[in-house]
Structure 1
Amino acid sequence: MKAISSMATRHVLADLAAVAVDAGLPLVEVESVGGVDAAERVAAGEQFDLVFLASGALGKLADSGHVDAATVVPLMLSQVAVAVASGSSEPAARPDGAAFDDAAGLREALRAAKRIGYSTGPSGTALVRMIEAWGMTEEIGDRLVQARPGIPVARSLADGDVDLGFQQLSELVGQPGVRILGVMPPDCAIDTVFGGAVATASSDKDRAAEVLAFFASAEAAPIKTAQAFGAP
């Protein structure tokens, strides 16, 4: 069984797929690429059984008939975190709380940064829009560095290409060369709900729906928590 997802959920989906097999469900081979690329491939009619993307992207695919709207289900909540380079090969640990007390503290960090890394997909778009809303585009716009599709911001930090990075928390935890300061403060948090759906091109819609139901079940919740995701 074939599935496609954005990069942000690749690790947790791999773990969920393995446990699903232990539960007697079909093996799902998940291909993880940039979220925009994934949505375009599904919309182009490429054959997949399951699609895992941000809720907004899934909604558009449902509206255009490329996934079954009746099967769309939220699976996990992902928070955007703030990180810097650590200069260490130790894997980054999950932070206890927010990176800054409030949005004002985050704005000061943005002003102080020489190069600011951010991801593709909905979280990166939301960050750019937030900076625009704060009236800071002219001030720091030339320091914003968008990661190439499929390349995590953590790598840009570790390689020294940027000195302040914004990425889904699940993409930063466990990565070497970075130190996670925390998630974005509550008054400017960027949260993304990722969901799943059965693709209309699926060759076995019933079994695909069974796998999706397992991924959304209470049994799967601890796996998501272990990968730094919350309940949607």
Structure 2
Amino acid sequence: MLFSSLSAARETTLTVFCSGGLMGVLQQLAPAWQQRSGVRLQIESAPSMGSTPQSIPQRLAHHQQADVLVMVDDGIKPLVEHKWVSLNNRVPLANSYVALAIPAGKKKPDISTPDKLKAVLLKAHHVAYSDSASGRYVSESLYKKLGIERQMAAKSEMIPATPVGKIVASGKADVGFQQLSELQVVKGITVVGLIPDSLQKTTLYSAIPLDNSAHPSQARDFIHYLSSAHVASIIRQKGMSPLNQQTN
């Protein structure tokens, strides 16, 4: 019976739709999880929000199958309304923070205060931000707080699907905003740092199983593992704050 159970585990693959903020974390933990559990992970990049075909809402609307979602918490409620997930199964994982990046080789600006950040943005020729949580905050709140909505309208661009860091690295934008954890993994850019505390937007990332998962037990086990001390250390390495840390 034990041999049969282990064989079944090794044949199981969990499909995880993961938004960019925690993608680096999942990629790093995958080997340890697979060795520990015998369950393979298929991790697919999927923005938490938006209308691109890659986004979690669109994937689910088109009946793409998954077992676990790792995503911006604010994006979960619409999925509950569609009866794809159950809110009581949601597990908060980490708080993430908005950072600013520039092309590699450019002089690093000072963004330590709201006024200094404002000056950098007014001087910029083209500013890019994502079509998910951080980008919506920049376009709907940050510019307003800085009093530069009108000045930034013509030179700002919301980027669907593609990581903002790649747009900055290509030279198509001289300033980019995204979650720190997403910018850290992109080559060809310099992460200037987090935006000032008084302007910062904390984004909560959570994990939740799909109600129609083919592997509900393994999905629950994986989400429990995401709250382990081992994973918490990886989350910290990526510039985020882990939540609900388990002892094992």
Question: Fold match, TM over 0.5?
Answer: yes
Amino acid at match of 2:17: I
Contact 2:68 2:209 in 1 (8 A): yes
Hey, what does 1:106 align to over in structure 2? Answer: 117
Hey, what does 2:52 align to over in structure 1? Answer: none
How far off is 1:11 after superposition? 1.8
Hey, what does 1:79 align to over in structure 2? Answer: 97
CA separation of 1:173 and 1:204: change in aligned 2, threshold 3 A: same
Moved more, 176-185 or 11-20: 11-20
**Relative contact order, higher structure (CA 8 A, sep 6+):** 1
Structure 1 unmatched runs, 5+:
89-98
Hey, what does 1:4 align to over in structure 2? Answer: 17
Amino acid at match of 1:213: H
Amino acid at match of 1:79: Y
Work out the CA distance in 2 between the residues paired with 1:207 and 1:4.
15
How far off is 1:25 after superposition? 5.0
The structure whose Rg is larger is 2
The secondary structure found in structure 1 opposite 2:241 is coil
Work out the CA distance in 2 between the residues paired with 1:194 and 1:231.
10
The secondary structure found in structure 2 opposite 1:28 is strand
Residues 47-196 of structure 1 aligned to structure 2 (within 5 Å): 47-87=65-105, 100-130=111-141, 131-149=143-161, 151-196=162-207
Question: Alpha carbon RMSD of aligned pairs, Å?
Answer: 2.1
Work out the CA distance in 2 between the residues paired with 1:34 and 1:211.
20
Show structure 1 runs of 4+ deviating over 4 A: none
**Superimposed CA distance per residue, residues 16-39 of structure 1 (whole angstroms, 9 cap, x where no aligned partner):** 222211222522211112322112
Amino acid at match of 1:24: S
The secondary structure found in structure 1 opposite 2:239 is coil
How far off is 1:115 after superposition? 0.6
**Superimposed CA distance per residue, residues 80-129 of structure 1 (whole angstroms, 9 cap, x where no aligned partner):** 111111239xxxxxxxxxx6232222112111111111112011001101
The secondary structure found in structure 2 opposite 1:166 is strand
Amino acid at match of 2:24: H
Aligned length: 223
Hey, what does 1:46 align to over in structure 2? Answer: 64
Hey, what does 2:44 align to over in structure 1? Answer: 31
How far off is 1:133 after superposition? 4.6
The secondary structure found in structure 1 opposite 2:37 is coil
Structure 2 unmatched runs, 5+:
1-13, 50-54, 244-248
